[in-house]
Structure 1
Amino acid sequence: MTRLPAAGPVHRVRLQFGAGGPAVIGEWVDGAVARRAWHAWVGLYGSDQSVVIRLAREAGGSENVLMAWENRHPVVQEPGGERTLPL
């Protein structure tokens, strides 16, 4: 996978068709673009019960999940709903 230069935070959208399965990943420096991608992927794939879609912001060696979609429902929303996952 090609990584973006680490000039600042990176926003990553990860789509999995099953928890723990292979992932399709998109990375953007612009958080607004990443959010639009997350919403588009939820619209395209979110009706499947096993699909997991996460939007996370990576900075300073940690990844903060901003928004997530699992079991046909949102599970993490900002503000205040961030979960910190170690890289």
Structure 2
Amino acid sequence: MGSTVLGDQGVEYEVTLRFRPGGPAVLGVWSDPETAETVFMEWLGLYGRPGTILALTATATAGGTAYPVKSWTAEGGLRVAGVDGPL
């Protein structure tokens, strides 16, 4: 998923989907970054349409610290940590 943290043992990968800011969330947590990446892209393909109010984020957590990995919003499009600056 594109972060220096992602190869570490004990890292959790969370993908969160919200249809409105601060609204209820659908989320999943995996220990495998490839699974989290697959789900992120599946949810983006299913729900990420121009004009929709949607926030999709992927976060890696290691040692109790959360690191944003990537996000997608209708306004900002796809942003990847380390490529598009801080998320």
What is the TM-score with the length of structure 2 in the denominator? 0.77
Aligned ranges 1:61-80 → 2 under 5 Å: 61-71=64-74, 73-74=77-78, 76-79=79-82
What is the TM-score with the length of structure 1 in the denominator? 0.77
Question: Which structure shows the higher strand fraction?
Answer: 1
The higher relative CO (CA closer than 8 Å, separation ≥ 6) is in 2
- Residues in 2 aligned to 1:61 and 1:8: alpha-carbon distance in whole angstroms: 10
Q: Is 1:41 aligned to 2:36, yes or no? A: no
Identity %: 30
- Residues in 1 aligned to 2:40 and 2:54: alpha-carbon distance in whole angstroms: 13
Match of 1:59 in 2: 62
Specify every segment of 5 or more residues in structure 1 that has no aligned partner in the other structure, as ranges.
Answer: 1-6
- Residues in 1 aligned to 2:19 and 2:72: alpha-carbon distance in whole angstroms: 11
The offset of 1:82, in angstroms, is: 4.6
Greater mean deviation of Cα atoms: 47-56 or 24-33: 47-56
Aligned to 1:49, the other structure's residue is in SS state coil
How many residues align structurally? 76
Match of 2:5 in 1: none
Question: Which structure shows the higher helix fraction?
Answer: 2
- Residues in 2 aligned to 1:29 and 1:17: alpha-carbon distance in whole angstroms: 25
Specify every segment of 5 or more residues in structure 2 that has no aligned partner in the other structure, as ranges.
Answer: 1-8
8 Å CA contact retained: 1:52, 1:68: yes
Superposition CA RMSD, Å: 1.7
